[in-house]
């Protein structure tokens, strides 16, 4: 299974992973054979990419760290809670905070049950339906980091809840500003920068949300050397939960397609985070975060320093830069009898690049600053 950008989807390709919108409606089921009509529909729905089984790679399975069912449920619940937060009293299907807590608890159970699974699968959302899926991925990435740091169950629950609701203060900002492709006016910028304080105040008013969860909303844009907002806090002044959420927030934002730019390749996002230790974020937290993320997710086509090309078939915890690769093309670029190479064992062989081109990972838009 590989993630293929919409611009290079072809009729006849088989969908490898179901796609849902944030209300939990199924847009595309796994196994569907794409037609021109389906592809056009996906374009209309602003879906940036699809996971495809094309047989070419003998389709290594990509395992999500949490089940599809719980991810869809979490996205739907966050959407309902944020809709209610935006205009109190008008939520159509108000979800109780206790239900969200149960969902976070279930996510924690699933993560603890699979201690060796790394974050391999980048969740795909419609470009204009980004927030809720993003919130869930930030929560999952934060929890993985918390587990690596040895947090208690109680700490994990507070971290997971706060990370899930970290952007609740954005609900009062119009989408036209949040999704604006151009530069924000000073007034718009000031409004966006209010979301941590607004979110903090909103969360403090919700019974059942702990103060440490609310602090995540307040401090997730603070940065290690004081470059962040709203207070310009530094180092240890920032709550550790908020640092974790900040790292997860930046990483997941980079690897997602946005209105104003294409997604960064995962290894570039990985390198940006790796280089942010004791600059944007506490080094110790960055290291714990990176333990759980595959720099080259399963299904990525990579070129090796030997000149051979292959597909990543296994990414392991703590060995992010050294996946197992199935070689498909020899040094001359000719298709060869596939064989496996474990880059953790073949340490003199390095990944020299990700094969992009018509595989759909090529970025066409300009790079955005890391922390925009």
Stretch that binds Fe ion, among 91-99, 108-116, 160-168, 340-348 (CB under 5 A): 160-168
Binding mask 110-149 for Fe ion (x = CB under 5 A): ----------------------------------------
Among 64, 129, 167, 308, binds Fe ion (CB under 5 A): 167
Return all residues near 293 (Cβ < 8 A) that are at least 6 apart: 118, 119, 141, 251, 266, 270, 273, 320
CB 292 within 8 A of CB 145: yes
Token output for 57? 């790679």
Least separation in angstroms between residue 273's CB and Fe ion is: 16
Does 252 bind Fe ion (CB under 5 A)? Our answer is no
For 154, other C-beta atoms within 10 Å of its C-beta total 10
Q: What are phi and psi of 297, to 5 degrees?
A: -60, 155
CB 248 within 8 A of CB 160: no
Report the distance separating Cα 302 and Cα 51, nearest Å: 18
CB 162 within 8 A of CB 101: no
Distances (CA, A) of 357 to 7, 101, 363: 11, 43, 9
Between 71 and 195, whose beta carbon lies closer to Fe ion? Answer: 195
Least separation in angstroms between residue 21's CB and Fe ion is: 22
User: What is the b/e burial string over 216-252, where b = at least 16 CB atoms within 10 angstroms of the residue's CB?
Assistant: bbbbbbbbbeeebbeeebeeeebbbbbbbbbbbbbbb
Report the distance separating Cα 108 and Cα 114, nearest Å: 10
Least separation in angstroms between residue 263's CB and Fe ion is: 18
Least separation in angstroms between residue 222's CB and Fe ion is: 11
Between 9 and 165, whose beta carbon lies closer to Fe ion? Answer: 165
Binding to Fe ion, residues 308-337 (CB under 5 A) = none
Least separation in angstroms between residue 114's CB and Fe ion is: 28
Between 146 and 169, whose beta carbon lies closer to Fe ion? Answer: 169
Between 80 and 167, whose beta carbon lies closer to Fe ion? Answer: 167
Least separation in angstroms between residue 199's CB and Fe ion is: 8
Q: Which residue, 340, 342, 317, is CA-closest to 328?
A: 340
Between 269 and 354, whose beta carbon lies closer to Fe ion? Answer: 269
Between 254 and 351, whose beta carbon lies closer to Fe ion? Answer: 254
Stretch that binds Fe ion, among 163-171, 297-305, 311-319, 341-349 (CB under 5 A): 163-171
Stretch that binds Fe ion, among 27-35, 166-174, 253-261, 305-313 (CB under 5 A): 166-174
Its sign, for the CA torsion 26, 32, 36, 39, is positive
Return all residues near 87 (Cβ < 8 A) that are at least 6 apart: none
Size of the site for Fe ion (CB under 5 A): 1
Report the distance separating Cα 157 and Cα 101, nearest Å: 8
Stretch that binds Fe ion, among 7-15, 33-41, 78-86, 167-175 (CB under 5 A): 167-175
Helices (H) and strands (E) in the chain, counts: 12, 10
Between 174 and 353, whose beta carbon lies closer to Fe ion? Answer: 174
Stretch that binds Fe ion, among 24-32, 120-128, 165-173, 364-372 (CB under 5 A): 165-173
Between 167 and 282, whose beta carbon lies closer to Fe ion? Answer: 167
Between 199 and 299, whose beta carbon lies closer to Fe ion? Answer: 199
Nearest-CB residue to Fe ion? 167
Least separation in angstroms between residue 362's CB and Fe ion is: 28
Least separation in angstroms between residue 355's CB and Fe ion is: 34
Cβ burial of 268 (10 Å; 0-12, 13-18, 19+) is middle
Stretch that binds Fe ion, among 15-23, 44-52, 161-169, 281-289 (CB under 5 A): 161-169
Between 155 and 371, whose beta carbon lies closer to Fe ion? Answer: 371
Element spanning 214, H or E: helix 211-219
Binding site for Fe ion (CB under 5 A): 167
């Amino acid at each position: 299974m590989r993630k293929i950008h919409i611009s290079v989807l072809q009729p006849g390709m088989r969908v490898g992973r179901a796609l849902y919108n944030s209300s939990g409606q199924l847009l595309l089921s796994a196994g569907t054979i794409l037609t021109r009509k389906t592809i056009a529909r996906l374009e209309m729905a602003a879906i940036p990419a699809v996971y495809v089984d094309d047989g070419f790679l003998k389709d290594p399975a990509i395992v999500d760290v949490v089940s599809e069912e719980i991810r869809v449920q979490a996205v739907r619940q966050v959407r309902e809670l944020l809709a209610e937060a935006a205009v109190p009293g008008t939520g159509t299907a108000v979800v109780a905070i206790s239900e969200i807590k149960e969902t976070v608890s279930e996510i924690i159970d699933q993560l603890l049950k699979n201690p060796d699974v790394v974050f391999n699968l980048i969740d795909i959302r419609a470009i204009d339906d980004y927030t809720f899926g993003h919130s869930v991925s930030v929560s999952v990435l934060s929890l993985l980091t918390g587990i690596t740091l040895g947090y208690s169950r109680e700490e994990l629950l507070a971290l997971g809840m706060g990370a899930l609701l970290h952007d609740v203060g954005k609900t009062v900002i119009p989408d036209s500003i949040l999704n604006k492709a151009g530069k924000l006016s000073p007034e718009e910028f000031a409004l966006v920068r209010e979301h941590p304080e607004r979110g903090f105040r909103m969360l403090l008013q919700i019974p059942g949300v702990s103060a440490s969860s609310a602090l995540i909303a307040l401090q997730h844009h603070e940065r290690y050397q004081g470059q962040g907002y709203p207070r310009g806090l530094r180092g240890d002044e920032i709550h550790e939960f908020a640092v974790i959420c900040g790292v997860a927030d930046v990483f997941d934002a980079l690897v997602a397609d946005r209105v104003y730019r294409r997604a960064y390749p995962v290894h570039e996002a990985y390198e940006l985070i790796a280089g942010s230790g004791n600059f944007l974020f506490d080094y110790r937290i960055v290291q714990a975060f990176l333990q759980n993320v595959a720099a080259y997710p399963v299904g990525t086509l990579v070129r090796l320093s030997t000149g051979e090309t292959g597909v990543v078939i296994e990414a392991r915890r703590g060995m992010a830069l050294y996946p197992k690769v199935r070689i498909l093309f020899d040094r001359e670029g000719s298709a060869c009898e596939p064989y496996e190479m474990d880059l953790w064992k073949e340490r003199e062989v390095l990944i020299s690049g990700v094969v992009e081109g018509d595989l759909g990972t090529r970025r066409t838009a300009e790079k955005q600053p890391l922390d925009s």
